[in-house]
Structure 1
């Protein structure tokens, strides 16, 4: 069984997950503007990235924890 990711790992990865989610949201809104959807403002994309970044960071931290357990099983 894989242990849960620690808070230090989550705190270290969250800025990257939130930033990536914000960038992806903004660029996705630019692509969807081709079919008539509105373009998100950068502030709206950052806000959405802060929300979407939480589950994305949790999933990536879980993956990193599994890799760490595979490399060196917990005692």
Structure 2
């Protein structure tokens, strides 16, 4: 007899696979922080062109809702990398 286990018929095919929403929850603070930094720097560029500057607090407040789609995209990207590594 071999020491390897055969897969159970009752075990789901995605056992041990992280869903995108769990990855997104894990990545949200990093993606929202990245969005805040990019918004602030875009505000500095806009100020150089002649528009009003975006304050750091406003950048953080805007990054809370705008971080959600960025997080979802990052979660899908990480999930695809994990699938490729498993493949």
Answer whether TM exceeds 0.5 for this pair.
yes
The TM-score normalised by the length of structure 2 is 0.72
1:23-69: CA deviation from partner (whole Å, max 9, x where unpaired) = 11011101111121111111110011112111111001101101111
Root-mean-square deviation (CA, aligned residues, Å) is: 1.6
User: Whose radius of gyration is greater, 1 or 2?
Assistant: 2
> What corresponds to 1:62 in structure 2?
76
SS in 1 for 2:61: helix
Q: Which runs of 5+ in 2 are unaligned?
A: 1-17
Q: Which runs of 5+ in 1 are unaligned?
A: none
> Which of 50, 59, 73 is the aligned partner of 2:64?
50
Aligned residues: 70
Provide the rounded CA distance (Å) in 2 between the counterparts of 1:34 and 1:70: 43
Which of the two has greater helix per residue?
Answer: 1
